[in-house]
Amino acid sequence: MTPQAFMHLPELEGRITPPEASGLRLTDEVLAAWDAQARAQGLPDDWRLPDADVERSRQAVLADIGGEDLWVFGYGSLMWNPGIHFQEVRRASLDGFARRFALATTIGRGTTNCPGLVLTLLPCAGVCHGLAFRIHHTLVEAESRLLWRREMIRGGYCPALLPLDTPQGRIEALVLTANTAHPQYRGELSLEDTAAIIASACGSIGSNRAYLDQLDEQLDLLGIEDDHVRALSAMVRREAAKALHETGNRNTMAEVYAP
């Protein structure tokens, strides 16, 4: 992540978590810590996909790229915490998809008792705007292994190489779309239901609301208009204000009737 990596988007320098500081860079040590958290939460030993299944998925998707660089499309947490070493980042857009909080999580941004929601891509008539990160061909093997561990830890996505448009030209990139057959896939929930979940869920790496706030901030920094995310953020803020007001009222009543 040298300054050269941000030549197209200098405003992102300092706004992307360095790989060595990322808690989502799933090295053996980090993965072992996640396994320990899963056991502490009472999740079964098979809470994540076997390593062999994850590796088969990676090899199948990347079989045809040969010794070339690999582009990765970021539309959610990858936009501020990709957890990979990259040589270049560009604005990028993907036709025919929209980002939606449609995948439940019970360890990262939620728990088994209070699952959170993370982003995935659903087919639509519009365009999803995000970022494309280029991994140098000498690092593709190592970096893609860590990325697959992170994104395919439970098999909630369908990884594929798809065309993206960037200001510097069309590219083909790794894109993670929704695995609609996955048991944690929730479909396109209403705005109200989505906001209620995000406002209350919290997991081992932080609150669900912080995830949404970070997305909102990064989109705003890049000047990316996403009406769904904007409306969702506003509704979550209202949910939080309402909860704070109700808590304040309960505390006031408790003081009034305290012996």
Supply the pLDDT for residue 177.
98
Q: What is the pLDDT of residues 169-178, one digit of tens each?
A: 999 999 999 9
Q: Residue 124: CA atoms inside 13 Å, Cβ hemisphere, count?
A: 15
| CATH number of the domain residue 213 falls in | 3.10.490.10
The reported pTM is: 0.91
Total domain count, the chain = 1
25 vs 245, residue with greater confidence: 25
The whole domain housing 128 covers: 3-256
Judge whether residue 74 has pLDDT over 50: yes
Rounded to the nearest 5°, which phi and psi values hold at 74?
Answer: -110, 125
184, pLDDT greater than 80: yes
pLDDT at 189: 94
Give the mean model confidence (pLDDT) for residues 108-119: 92
pLDDT class of 244 with cuts at 50, 70, 90: confident
Active site (annotated) includes residue 151 = yes
Top-confidence residue, 247 or 224: 224
Contact 130, 73 (CB under 8 A): yes
Q: Which of 29, 151, 239, 255 is catalytic?
A: 151
Other residues' Cβ atoms within 10 Å of the Cβ of residue 74: 24
Percentage of residues of the chain with pLDDT beyond 90? 81
Report whether pLDDT(252) > 60: no
> Is the pLDDT assigned to residue 245 strictly greater than 90?
no
Reply yes or no on whether the pLDDT at 257 is more than 50: no
Span 6-63, pLDDT tens digits:
999 999 999 999 999 999 999 999 999 999 988 988 888 899 999 999 999 999 999 9
Is it the case that residue 91 has pLDDT exceeding 60?
Answer: yes
- The pLDDT tens digits for 189-209 are 999 999 999 999 998 889 999
Instruction: With a cut of 70, say whether residue 213 has pLDDT above it.
Output: yes
Model pLDDT, residue 42: 87
